[in-house]
Amino acid sequence: MTHRSVPVARSRRLAPVAVAALLAAFVVPVLAAEPANAATPLRTLAAAKNKFIGFAAATGPLANESAYRTIAQTEFSQITPENAMKWDSTEPSDNQYNFSGADQIVTFAAANNQVVHGHTLVWHSQTPSWVQSLSASAMRTAMNDHIATVVGHFASNPVVQSWDVVNEVFDENGGYRSSFWYNTLGSGFIADAFRAARAADADAKLCINDYNVEGINAKSTAMYNLVNTLKGQGVPIDCVGLQTHLSTQYGFPGDMQQNIARFAALGVTVRITELDIRIPTPRTAAKDATQAQYYTNVVNACLAVSACTGITIWGFTDKYSWVPDTFPSEGAALIYDENYQVKPSYTAVNTALGGSPNNDTTAPSAPSNLAASGTTSTSTTLSWTASTDNVGVTGYDILRAPGTSGGTFAVVGSSTTTSFTNTGLTAATSYRYQVRAKDAAGNTSAVSNTVTVTTSGGTGDTTAPSAPSNLAASGTTASGTSLSWTGSTDNVGVTGYDILRAPGTSGGTFAVVGTSTTTSYADSGLSAATSYRYQVRAKDAAGNVSAVSNTVTVTTLSGGGTGGCSVTATVQTSWGNGYVMDPVTVKNTGTSSITGWTVTFTLPAGHTISGSWNGTVTVSGQNVTVKPVGWNSTVAPGASVAFGFQVSRPNGDTSTASGFACTTP
C-alpha cells in the first residue's frame, strides 16, 4: 500500500461527518446552533489551512489516562512518538527488536484518523552503548540493518508517513557534531542513512531534524548548505524539521518565516517538529501572555509558507514535559496545564489557526472550599479548590468586605494560582472574603463560599522570626556584590531584613550596612581586591529580630587596572550572495572586569545584515554597531565573549565586512 492512498481514505471517512453536521444545522433551532464550547478543535482548524497539528505521545498516559486520550484524539491530527521509536526502545540489543510502544501509538493513531511521524532513526542520544563502540564497518552495517528493519516494520502501514532519518547532526557553530556516528563514519553516514531509509520505504517522507535552527543563524545555514548539497547529489531527502524548543528568555527568532522560506526554495518541505515554549516557573498571567504570543508567532510563520506542512507540539500537557527535568527552574512550556485545562497558549494556537475560542460565553464553575490560614495581625492566606471551564480558567479575583456582616465586597487582588495572601490588614479586625474565576473570554464565575477572618491582637508578640538561610553572593565586581537568601518565617509575618558586613575573612565586627524587604540585596561602594563577610537577619512587625544567617565571604575583583577590549572577526562560511561571520570574538585585554562593550565595523556597499545572534545590532548606512545582548555584557580580564551575524551581498561580490574596532564604556 502506498502513502498516497491515505488522503483519499481520510476524505472518504470525513464526508459522512460533514453531511451530518450540515443536517444538524437544519434541524437544530437557530438560537441553540452555536454549542456552549465555542473552541473548534485544533485539528479541524489546521485541516482547513491544509496543515497538520500534532503532539508527541508518551506511551504511559496514552495507555492509562482517559483525559490524555480524549485531548489526543479530539485536538490533533498527527502523532510523533516522544521516545517509543528511538533506537534504545526499538533495538536495545543487537538484532533484538521491540515494537510494543511504537505499535501502541500507531494503533491509536489509526483508530483516530491520525498520521504518525517516526522519530528518530540515527541520533547520538538514546542509542545503546553496543552501537557506539562498533568499528566503522560494523557500525555502518548496524545502522543500515536498523533503518531497514524499523522503517520496514511500518513501510506498508499508511499511518506512518514520514521519518526523522538523522537528528541533531550539527553543533551550534554550524560544524558537524562530534558524535560517535561522525567520529567513526565521517559525514557520509548522513547520506547513507537517507539512502537506506528510501530503500526500506519508497513513499515515506525523509527528514533531517535539529534544534536552534528556527531563525537564520550559523547552525541553520549549515543545515541549509547540507540539504542543498544532498539534493545536488540526488540523496533522497524530502523535509527539514525545525524542533522549535523555545524559551521566552531568549527572544523570538523574528526571521523564522524567512528561514522556512529559504528551505522551501531548496525544494524540501518544512515541519515544526517539537514545539514547546518554556517560561521561568512559576507561571504568571504576564508570562503566559508572552508565551501565547510566541505560539502565535510560530503558527503564523508556518501558515505563511505553503511548504510548511504542519506543527507538532512536544507533548500537550505540562503534566508530562521533558523541560523541568532538563531546565529545573523553567517549564509550563505547553498548551494545557497539569490538570488538562487549556492555557492562554492553547487559545493562541486555536486563534492563529483561524478559530474564535474567545466567542465563548460559558462562565467557569464557582471556586469552592475557600479557607483562610496563617492569619497574623496584618495578613491572612486564602486557598480554594480550582474552577473548571470549557476554554480554560485564566485567573481568580479576590473580593473582601469589612466586618462579619453588611458592607460591600470589592476586589482586593487577583491570582493565577489557587491561593492568595492578603497583607496590610488591621490588627484585631474582622473581614469576609470570596473568590471568583475568570476565563480567557472574560466570563466571570459565581462567587465561592464566604470565609470570615479575624486578625490577631497585634501586640505582645515575642516570637522572633526564623534565621534566614542559604545566604549566597553572586555577580561580584571590583566595587559591589549581590546577596540573596532563603526567606525567614514568623508567626506574625517578616517585615524585612538587616544586612550586616564585617571586614576581612576573619575578626572585625559585623555592622548593619543596609536593609531589604525582599530576599536579596546589592551592596556597592566596596574596595577592589578586598574581602568582606556578610550575614542577614530578619525582623517582624513587633520588632523581634532573628538569629543571623550563615556567613558568606566575598572578595571583590582587582580594579584600578585598565579596561579595554579587542575584536577578532572570522568568516565562517560564504556563498554566492551571502556570508556568515562567526565567531566575532570580543576579548577583555585590560586588567579589570568590563561591563559593556561596543564593536563597530563597516559593510561594503550593497551588503545588508540578514540575521544576527548574541549581539544587539544597530545599522546606520553601512556603519554597524553591536552591543551585548545582556548575559555577555560583563567580561573578566583575559576572558572573551562572541557574537555572529549573516550578511546578504550582491551576487559575485566576494568582499566582507571590515574595519572592526572595540571600545569599552
Closest CA relative to residue 36, chosen from 439, 359, 387: 359
| Whether 214 is catalytic | no
Pick 83 or 634: Cβ nearer ligand G2I:
83
| Contact between 87 and ligand G2I per CB under 6 A | no
Q: Tell me if residue 73 falls in helix, strand or coil.
A: helix
* 422 makes contact with ligand G2I (CB under 6 A): no
Q: Does 214 bind ligand G2I (CB under 6 A)?
A: no
Q: Which is nearer to ligand G2I, 215 or 563 (CB)?
A: 215
From residue 347 to residue 386, what is the string marking binding to ligand G2I with x (rule CB under 6 A)? ----------------------------------------
Closest CB to ligand G2I among 201 and 274?
274
Whole-angstrom distance, CA of residue 568 vs CA of residue 662: 9
Smallest distance, Å, CB 154 to ligand G2I?
18
Rounded Cα distance between 210 and 656, Å, is 29
CB of 62 vs ligand G2I, minimal distance in Å: 13
247 binds ligand G2I, rule: CB under 6 A: no
Return the C-alpha cell found at 458.
497585634
274 is catalytic: yes
Which of 459, 462, 463, 416 lies closest to 437, judged by CA? 416
How far is Cα 587 from Cα 639, in angstroms, rounded to an integer?
6
82 binds ligand G2I (CB under 6 A): yes
Number of residues that bind ligand G2I (CB under 6 A): 8
Nearer to ligand G2I, 89 or 217 (CB): 89
Closest distance between ligand G2I and the C-beta of residue 243, in Å?
Answer: 5
Sheet with 380-385: list strands edge to edge: 368-373, 380-385, 419-422
Find the residue with minimal CB distance to ligand G2I: 322
Interface characters, 194-213, with ligand G2I (x: CB under 6 A):
-----------------x--
Kindly state the smallest distance separating residue 273's Cβ from ligand G2I, in Å.
8
**How many other β-carbons are positioned within 10 Å of the β-carbon of residue 172?**
15
C-alpha closest to that of 396 among 414, 372, 420, 381: 414
CB of 134 to ligand G2I, least distance (A): 21
- Rounded Cα distance between 162 and 158, Å, is 10
Confirm or reject binding of residue 243 to ligand G2I (CB under 6 A): yes
Q: Which C-beta is closer to ligand G2I: that of 126 or that of 524? A: 126
Place of cell 497538520: 52
Give the active site residue among 75, 82, 168, 214: 168
Q: Is 317 helix (H, G, I), strand (E, B) or coil?
A: strand
Task: Check binding of 396 to ligand G2I (CB under 6 A).
Answer: no
Closest to ligand G2I by CB, 126 or 187: 126
Does residue 83 interact with ligand G2I by CB under 6 A? yes
Backbone angles phi, psi at 347, to 5 degrees: -55, -40
Tell me the closest approach of the beta carbon of residue 131 to ligand G2I, in angstroms.
15
| Smallest separation, CB 124 to ligand G2I (Å) | 10
* Residue 126 in the binding site for ligand G2I (CB under 6 A): yes
- Which is closer to ligand G2I, CB of 86 or CB of 436? 86
Between β-strands 531-540 and 494-503, what pairing exists: parallel, antiparallel or unpaired? Answer: antiparallel
Q: Considering the complex, what minimum distance in angstroms separates the CB of residue 272 from ligand G2I?
A: 13
251 in Cβ contact with 207 (< 8 Å): no
Q: Does 137 bind ligand G2I (CB under 6 A)?
A: no
Residue 182 falls in which region: left (phi positive, over 0), alpha (psi -120 to 50) or beta:
alpha
Q: Give me the helix-helix angle, 344-352 and 285-303, nearest 10°.
A: 20
3-state secondary structure 237-302: CCEEEECCEEEHHHCCCCCHHHHHHHHHCCCCEEEEEEEEEEEECCCCHHHHHHHHHHHHHHHHHH
Closest CB 88 distance from ligand G2I, rounded Å: 9
Question: Considering the rule CB under 6 A, would residue 125 count as an interface residue with ligand G2I?
Answer: yes
For residue 585, the SS3 value is strand
For ligand G2I, the closer of residues 87 and 322 by Cβ is 322
> Is-contact 653 625, C-beta < 8 A?
no
Buried b / exposed e over 287-300, threshold 16 CB at 10 Å, is bbebbbebbbbbbe
Q: At its nearest, how many Å lie between ligand G2I and the CB of residue 618?
A: 34
Residue type present at position 631: W
Residues 290-349 that bind ligand G2I (CB under 6 A): 322
Give the three cell numbers for residue 183.
567520529
**Beta-strand runs (E) in 556-636:** 565-575, 578-588, 594-595, 598-602, 608-613, 616-620, 623-627, 634-635
Q: Minimum CB separation from ligand G2I for residue 208, in Å? A: 13
Cα angle 218-224-226, degrees, rounded to a multiple of 5: 105
Residue 212 or 383 having the CB closest to ligand G2I: 212
DSSP track, 544-559:
-BPPP---EEEEPPP-
| Phi and psi angles of residue 151, each rounded to the nearest 5 degrees, phi first | -65, -40
Which is nearer to ligand G2I, 326 or 489 (by Cβ)?
A: 326
- In the set 82, 274, 330, 338, the catalytic residue is 274
The amino acid that residue 242 corresponds to is L
**Closest alpha carbon to 220 in 166, 256, 265:** 256
User: Please, which residues bridge with residue 539 across strands?
Assistant: 496, 545
User: Least distance in Å: CB of 231 to ligand G2I?
Assistant: 24
Is residue 276 close enough to count as binding ligand G2I by CB under 6 A? no
Nearer to ligand G2I, 100 or 126 (CB): 126
Residues between 13 and 32 that touch ligand G2I (CB under 6 A): none
The residue with cell 485536538 is 75
Contact 523, 511 (CB under 8 A): no
| Residue 274 contacts ligand G2I per CB under 6 A | yes
**Choice between 243 and 556, CB closer to ligand G2I:** 243
Point out the residues that are catalytic: 168, 274
- Interface residues with ligand G2I (CB under 6 A)? 82-83, 125-126, 211, 243, 274, 322
